[in-house]
Every structure is written in structure tokens, then in C-alpha cells.
Amino acid sequence: MSLGAAPNANGDEVSPIKDDSTAAAPPPAQPDPNAKAVHDVINSEIGVATLLNRLKQSIASAKEFAIFLKKRSTLEEEHSNGLKKLCRLTTENVRRPEHRHGTFLHSYEEVINIHERMADNGDQFASSLHQMHEDLLELASNMERGRKHWKATGLAAEQRVADIEAAMRKSKAKYDGLAEDYDRARTGDRQSGKIFGLKGPKSAAQHEEDLHKKVQAADADYSSKVQTAQAQRAELWSKLRPEAVKALQDLIKECDSALTLQMQKFASFNEKLLLSNGLNISPLKGSEQGSQPRSLREVVYAIDNEKDLSNYVSSFANKVPARTPEIKYERNAVLIPTTQPSAPPQRQSDPPASYSSRPGLPQAFGAAQSPHQTHMSQPFNQGPPPALQQHERSFSQGPPVQQYNNNPINSSMNTSMGGPPRVPSQGAPYNTGSIASNGPPQLSTLPFQTNQAPQPSFSQPQQQTIPAPYSQPPPSGPPAANLPPLKPVFGLSLEQLFERDGSAVPMVVYQCIQAVDLFGLEVEGIYRLSGTQSHVNKIKAMFDNGRVDFRDPANFIHDVNSVAGLLKQFFRDLPDPLLTSEHYAGFIEAASTDDDIVRRDSLHAIINSLPDPNYATLRALTLHLHRVTEASSANRMNTSNLAIVFGPTLMGANTGPNIQDAGWQVRVIDTILQNTYQIFDDD
């Protein structure tokens, strides 16, 4: 890596950009003060041995750093796996009914998502360190082989020259000794007496001649060894030693450079890990605030304790016991003197007023409009659906069970649709019915049938949310759409929309489903990620003031997530949830059944008893969500994820003890989505 270059987040080298006109010339290289000493050492007899020891140190350092990377990789991998396991367990536990829900649950889930992304970053970091560990081990192995080769070659040449020089010195010592003996014999400096040889005593002349011959032979041997030593030393100095020194220097430089590069990569990967985790905890704010993920601080600060407490307490409003009458003294009628007969009071057992006589409801809801179920599975490029289309309500198996909603509106509407007639219970409570002898337990065999639900009294008008006149604008809207809505859609009940528009499936539901089917099935996190609130308000104002065609993505600002958010907001704004408050307890009891078949058939029976606009809208939405799950490999939204999103939306955030029933609400929607074609026909 060049000097002055800083590695980026990927470990690549990024050189600073300099202007040619202002760039200063690089400073001249400073001379090495140890250059002469280095030259003297490497060209001496100890040069090869010194470089071999230095290469051994480099190899040992590379191995030690490889061990450090291996241990650090193991620690990061264990930390990443532990963090993922913790997030998974926490996600499962926090969604249980005994924990807080509402804004706390949403923020807690976002905190867990941030930690999951941090765990993924740690996993990538551990994989990179493991690869660096493998590279360093391979480098050290190659350096070991090169060191062994040049150790054998370079030291063998040095040893060979040393042995020749030792033999030369030994020959010289022998030659010098014989020369001194010969000199003493020649000058007469010898001991008195005769010299004995193998063949008898020798004379002085013979002894001198023998020494002369030996001196000549020693001189020849010494001269040849000197020549051999000179030749070997010259070859060592000129060829063998420089080759070994250069090869060892190259190996040392390669090992040191590779080790330094790996350490630079390690520093870059650490910076990348910390930067990625920092961006997860506190993302950079862009121009569009709505599309940016929230920081950890923002997520935690979004918890509204007052709102959560208010929603939880208000969810028990339907369980408040009736107010006890005022305590007063009543005298027995026997003791009251009779003056004139009075009209008998009406008994509680007298039949209630006719349902059709209630104000504000049509006399024949299903007769004026013949079958009105909207066929939502048709190709969306054929334009809006016809207002009225006929199909039957299906049953899971066995004969149709007796429905426990004997509302004359529902009966007339269902008969007009050509579906199975809704048989009245002949005065029996709604939760009684016949048990099919050749099928799974139907609605009447469920545990929740033992509790008699209170029969609604029609003698007095029901307390329900009556929407404001159509001339009144909805409370919310974009700043540019403050005019009164021409044709309000949000905040009205499904029955009111059906009476006005003549379509069982509201047009806003149809258009949103059409847009997601055409442009959102491959979008990751569809229905889970929130759209831009300003876009949602603009699209909402479009529905309140005229017709909309979502086959052109420009009509919804090319923001399919905002369309999905608008669909969820429509269901949340309904005065009565899509699955109705009346049947809430039945859905929860059915969801608590462990047997999958019984739970499916029980939910199927309750769904068949829904009002016709609710049934048609639920059918269209369920078939659409089934298409979303078929593309879950791309959008990562399976039935479980969709059930978590739509559970409180379709069953009502303020219906029943929604906080503690949240898990059962999710189970209701999950069971419906998993049994789409067993509950609804795909005509």
C-alpha cells in the first residue's frame, strides 16, 4: 500500500486527490545511516545466517497474528450468533399476551431489528477475519519452504568453503613442520647418535634426503589446497552468497509486506464494523425524512406510556358491568290500596321490536341489491370490478352449520347472493346449533359455546358511531386538501359505503389491492414498512374527492408502501372492525383451540356469519394477501409476518382486551391465511 493512501470501508486503497499545480514534489529519500553496516554484514560469513534468523522472526510474527485473527474471529462469531439468538428469543417473548403492546411493542421490535443488523455486521466481520487467518497461514507455509531451501543452499556453500580453508591450514602446518626439520638436518643441528630406520640405521645424508622429499610433497599438497580454497572462495563471494542473500531479502520483504497489508485490512474492517454499527444506531438524515430509518434514540423516545395505558384500560370498556340501580325503598304491592286497575307493565320476555323498524337502516338490505360479492381474483388490467357479482360462501367440510347470527339483514343478503341460506335458530340463542355427525366439530361444539353471549336488544337503538354528513370533511388530510370531501370514504362503515356506492368491496380496497398486486409483490417488507405520511394524506384526499385509477403508478406518486399504509389506515378507521366487535369473543375462543382442523372450521363458520360487505371485503383481502405470501421469497412477508401486521388492524385495536389478546388476534389471521382456499372459493 502506497504511503499517504488511506483504505476505504472495503479495505481498498484510496489515494488523496491533489491538484497538479499545487502538488509539492515528494521529499527526497533520506539516506539510511546503517547502509554501510548492513552491506558489511550481509557480505560476510554471517550474512546468510543473520538473514535466516530475520526471516524466522517474520514467519513467527505472521503466525502469531494469524492466531490472533482466528481467536478474534471466533469471539466475533460467538457474539454474533449469541446476539441473533437473543433477538430471536426476545421477539418471541415480547409478543406474548402478558407483555406490553402498543407503541412499546413497536419500538421494542425496531430495537431488536437494529441489533439483528449489528449481528449481521459482526458475522461478516468474523468471516473476513477468518479469511485473513487462512491467507496468513498459507503465507507462513510458503515462507517456511523458501527458508529451508536457502538454508540448505547458502549454509552448505559457506560450510564447504570453511572446510576447504581448514584443510588448507592443516596442510600448511604440516608443510612448515617438515621444512623446519629439513632445515635442522641440513645445517647439522641434530642430536648425536645414529638415526634408525626400517632397514637399519641411516646416515645424515640419507636422513636429509628423506626430509627433502617430504618437504617437496608437503609443498605440492599445500599449493593445490591453496588454489582450491581460492577458487571456492571466489565462487562463494561472486555467486553463491549474493544469490542466497538476495533470495532471503526478498522472502523477508514479501513476508513483512504481506503481514503489514493484512494488519491494514484488519484496521479497515474494524473501522467498517464500527461505522456500520454506528449508522444502524444513528442513521444519517437524508432529504426525505419519511423514508429514512429511525435512530435508536428516536425509536426509544417514540414510546408513549400514556397512550399505551389509555389504550389498554379503554380496551376493557365492553367489560364494564352494568350500573346498579339506585337503592330505594319499594313498598309491597299487597299493602298498597287498590284504587283503579293500571295497565300491566311490559315483561322482559316480550318480543323486541322488529329489527327492520330501527331508524337509519334499509327495510330490505339484500333484496334491492342482488348478489354483490366482488370478484377480486380477476386480472386487474380489466378495469374496476363490477358492482355486483355472484358467488357462494364455502364450508370447510361437512354440511353447513347453523349460523349464530340471526340478523334479518344478513339472512336476506346471503339469500340474494345465491349462497347457503342462513337458517334462523327458532328462538334459541345464537350459540346453539346442530352438530354434524359426519364431519369435524362445527361452531356449536366449540368450548366458547358454553358461555351464553348476551342477545342484543333491538327495542332500543344500538349505540354505534354514526358518521357525520357527507358534506363534513374528514378530520385528517394533507395541507393542500382542506376543502370538504365530495365523497368521503374514510370513517364510514362498510354497510354505508355499500348503500351509497353499490359495491360490496369498497373502491379504496380494490384500488389499493390492485396497486400492490401490480407493483408491490416484489417489494421487500410490503405492509410492514411504513410509507411517507404526506403521500398517504394526498392519496387519501384523492379518494375523498373523486375516482382514482392505480393502474398508473404516477397516481400514487410511485410509492407503493404509502398505498399499503393507506389500506391499513382504511381498516383502522372503520367504526366497526372488519371482523366486527360482535364476533370478537368468538374469534378469540376459536383461536385458542389447539386442533388445527377444529380451529379452521370454527373460524370458517364465524366468517360465514359476517355481514355481507364484511365477508366480501375479507375475502378480497385474504386472496390478495395469499398472493403476497406466494412472493415471500422476494418480499420476505410470510403468513406469520402478515398476521402480525393485520391482526389488530382487522380485529380492532379498541375491541376487547386487545393488549392481552394480541397473540390470539395474530393466530386468527394466520389461520385464515394458511387456509385461504379452504375458507374462500377462488372463482
CATH number of the CATH domain containing 592: 1.10.555.10
Residue 298 covered by a domain: no
Residue 255 pLDDT: 95
Length, in residues, of the chain: 683
Other C-beta atoms closer than 10 Å to the C-beta of 358 total: 14
Closest by CA position to 131, among listed 80, 82, 77: 77
Is residue 14 classed as helix, strand or coil in its secondary structure? Answer: strand
In whole angstroms, give the CA distance from residue 425 to residue 117. 56
Residue 122 belongs to some domain of the structure? yes
Quick one: how far is CA 406 from the chain centroid?
48
Distance CA 672, CA 667 (A): 9
CB 647 within 8 A of CB 666: yes
Q: What is the distance between the alpha carbons of residues 595 and 446, in angstroms, rounded to a whole number?
A: 11
Residue 519, CA distances (Å) to 189, 385, 560 in order: 123, 19, 7
Task: Give the chain's domain count.
Answer: 2
15 occurs within a structural domain:
no
Task: Judge whether 619 lies within some domain.
Answer: yes
In single-letter form, the type of residue at position 525 comes to G
Using only the alpha carbons of the chain, give its radius of gyration: 48
Q: Pick from 249, 281, 313: which residue ends a domain?
A: 281
Distance CA(582)–CA(574), nearest Å, equals 14
Confirm whether 11 is domain-assigned: no
Give the pLDDT confidence score for residue 432 in this predicted structure.
34
Q: What is the dihedral of CA 391, 392, 397, 399, to 10 degrees?
A: -160
Answer whether residue 647 is part of any domain: yes
Q: What are phi and psi of 14, to 5 degrees?
A: -120, 110
Pair 651, 668: CB distance under 8 Å = yes
Residue 31: predicted pLDDT: 78
Dist CA 148 CA 162 (whole Å): 21
Does 641 reside within a domain? yes
CATH number at residue 102: 1.20.1270.60
**What gap in Å lies between CA 247 and CA 232, rounded to an integer?**
21
Domain-ending residue, one of 253, 281, 309: 281
Residues in contact with 467: Cβ distance below 8 Å, sequence separation at least 6, in sequence order: 488, 491, 492, 493, 496, 575
Among 281, 311, 328, give the residue marking a domain's end.
281
Closest C-alpha to 44, from 198, 194, 216, 237: 237
Q: Mean pLDDT, 10 residues at a time, over the chain (683 residues)?
A: 43 46 59 84 86 94 95 94 93 90 91 93 94 94 92 83 87 87 76 51 77 86 87 83 90 94 95 92 74 86 92 89 81 69 38 35 35 37 41 47 38 37 36 35 35 36 36 39 72 93 93 95 93 91 86 90 94 94 94 94 95 96 96 94 94 65 92 95 61
Pair 546, 617: CB distance under 8 Å: no
Indicate whether 398 belongs to any domain. Answer: no
Cell numbers representing residue 289 in the block: 425524512
Which are the contacts of 512, defined by CB distance < 8 A and separation ≥ 6? 550, 563, 564, 566, 567, 570
- Structural domain of 632: 494-678
Tell me the C-alpha distance between 608 and 392, whole Å: 10
